[in-house]
Amino acid sequence: MEPIRVGIIGVGNVLNQYLDKIGVHPDVDVVALADVNADAVARRATEYSIPKALTPDELFADRDVELVLNLTPPNLHAPVSLQAIKAGKHVLSEKPFATSLEEAREIVDAARIAGVEVGSAPTTFLGSGMQTTRKLVDDGWIGDPVAAFASFANRGYEHWHPNIDPFYSPGAGPMLDIGPYLVTNFINLFGPVRRVSASAHRSSETRPRPDGKGGYGGEIDVRTPTHVSGTIDFESGAVATVIVSWDVWNHNLPHFEIYGSAGSIAAPNPDHFDGAPSLRRGEARDLALDMTPPGGGDWRSTLLTHRDDAYRGIGLAEFGHAIRTGVEPRTGANFAYHVLEVLLAFEESSQRGEHVDVQSSCERPRPLPSVGPHEPYRFD
């Protein structure tokens, strides 16, 4: 199959995460990079031996580019994706798909009219850790899935990220920045969402701005909730609890766990592509008055069922394979729109003080075929 020819727009921090291991996906050919910063794009093209360093307009006009990977800041995801669609390109965007449902509808409608595919990261659910978790669930190792828990909590990104202000702006915050990893993995396991109930809180109007020298200088305006917790009800009947926060110093919460009628799974970090899940079947001691303490009992590491070096390039490889074979990508328009509606429902639920019914739906993504460490990735 001819490799999908990719042009990437945006050469910031995330670029490395796509290109450092792109060689494990020979069906992806990155032919061009583009950015408004000419010096940066030239430097990055040299770093990764990409043949073309272009302006965004040049990339949209380039006939060699079939699929645009949109790595711009979140507030530019929608306008850049729309420009690419107008140029007749398929588009895979970094998360979030857009910052509002109105933007997302415009993208989906434009893609349908243009006859191109659109979709959105994150694609960690395609990695070995979560595909192994999916197989454990599908094969009945914990019985019928009943509930799940996921968390991501820290003190924010300002101490390490060079461009922090967009993260504390509308259309960002922990729910739209890290929430996509939790929600996409939940939908991979349980299918589409029926409703959301949540509380969202902004702990302060400003945060001290690190000066890069161990001190502070000025302030960061905080214009989005920084602590969000809530529940997701799935059409399948399962219920998940979610906590995302940039207001927490330390905690003992698990990253991601799934609870079934016959046992539990401690899944790997949903922000990562690797890691092996641990499995624990229900035990007689769990029925006692003094139940087994958290983390106790016979948890067993599992063998991975999928190749373990995917990284973010797997999203490009899967998307390109879908385009070549004429099927909907696992991260395609319906999936991306549904994930965004679920994410936005958390703040809406908090503002309204009630459950929010999710109007859209999507297919549960198809599992990836199992492959060994030295076998090529498969997406059929």
Q: Name the residue ranges covered by the structural domains of the chain.
A: 4-124+311-333, 127-301
d(CA 350, CA 368): 36
DSSP letter for each residue of 167-235? GGSTT-HHHHHTHHHHHHHHHHHH-SEEEEEEEEE---SEEEEE-SSSSEEEEEE--S-SEEEEEEEET
Strand partners for 234: 193
d(CA 37, CA 377): 34
100-109, 206-215, 250-259: which has the minimum mean pLDDT?
206-215
Quote the pTM value. 0.95
- Confidence check: pLDDT of 291 > 90: no
Instruction: Return the pLDDT at 13.
Output: 83
- Segment 177-206 mean pLDDT: 97
Cβ neighbourhood burial of 204 (10 Å; 0-12, 13-18, 19+): exposed
- Confidence check: pLDDT of 364 > 90: yes
Query: Quick one: pLDDT band at residue 310, thresholds 50, 70, 90?
Result: confident
Query: Quick one: pLDDT band at residue 292, thresholds 50, 70, 90?
Result: confident
Instruction: Return the pLDDT at 349.
Output: 98
The tens digit of pLDDT for each residue in 93-140 reads 999 999 999 999 999 999 999 999 999 999 999 999 999 999 999 999
- Confidence check: pLDDT of 243 > 90: yes
What is the fold of 127-301?
Dihydrodipicolinate Reductase; domain 2 (3.30.360)
Instruction: Return the pLDDT at 294.
Output: 87
d(CA 129, CA 112): 33
d(CA 42, CA 31): 13
Domain 4-124+311-333 is of which CATH architecture? 3-Layer(aba) Sandwich (3.40)
The two domains 4-124+311-333 and 127-301 share their CATH topology (first three levels equal): no
